[in-house]
Amino acid sequence: MYLAGKNHGNNTVAAVTKIAQPIAEQLGLILWDVRFVKEGASWYLRIFIDKEGGVTLDDCEAMSRAINDPLDEADPISQAYFLEVSSPGIERELTRPEHFEAMKGRDVAVNLYRPTPDGEKEIIAQLVGLSGDSILLADLDGTEFAVSKKDAVSVKLYDCEDYDDLTADTED
């Protein structure tokens, strides 16, 4: 995640996003997310790209090559870091309003800080959308409910054949 409580991390993400967005668009890509994180002693600048039909290794390489010089010229990062460009993956994390909008109707896994009254720390449901500070979801029978964004550790696309089998069984 972004460096919670460390403003310079968010400033770095904003600066890199401003540089990366037009480059991604020129390459026919969607800039999904930018993260600047420290893992152990090393810093990582992670740029996640997407496109209709999926991202290829060539797309990642093209984005990496295209952004190298603009990043060096703008110099938004004061310390040494590793640049990684990749797809957000099949179980991508939804962090921005446009992510939630793009993924409406898809199954998501909402991981919670505290368990529900039923003792669950993960909710699997269909994403209906966002409303203010709430994530709107629908359960297997279509009943809609809301989860506060502040109660969610993460929201990721959910791609599990077992869940698909379960939903297919309820459609009979």
Classify residue 105 by burial, with Cβ atoms within 10 Å: 0-12, 13-18, 19+: exposed
Tens of pLDDT, residue by residue over 114-168, are 998 889 999 999 999 999 899 999 998 999 999 999 999 999 999 865 444 444 4
Tens of pLDDT, residue by residue over 38-50, are 999 999 999 999 9
**Domain boundaries defined on the chain:** 7-86, 97-170
Q: Going by DSSP bridges, is the β-strand pair 42-50/82-86 parallel, antiparallel, or unpaired? A: parallel
CATH of region 7-86, choose from 3.30.300.70, 3.40.50.10490, 1.10.620.20, 3.40.50.1000: 3.30.300.70
DSSP E strand boundaries for the chain: 30-39, 42-50, 82-86, 107-112, 122-131, 134-138, 144-148, 152-157
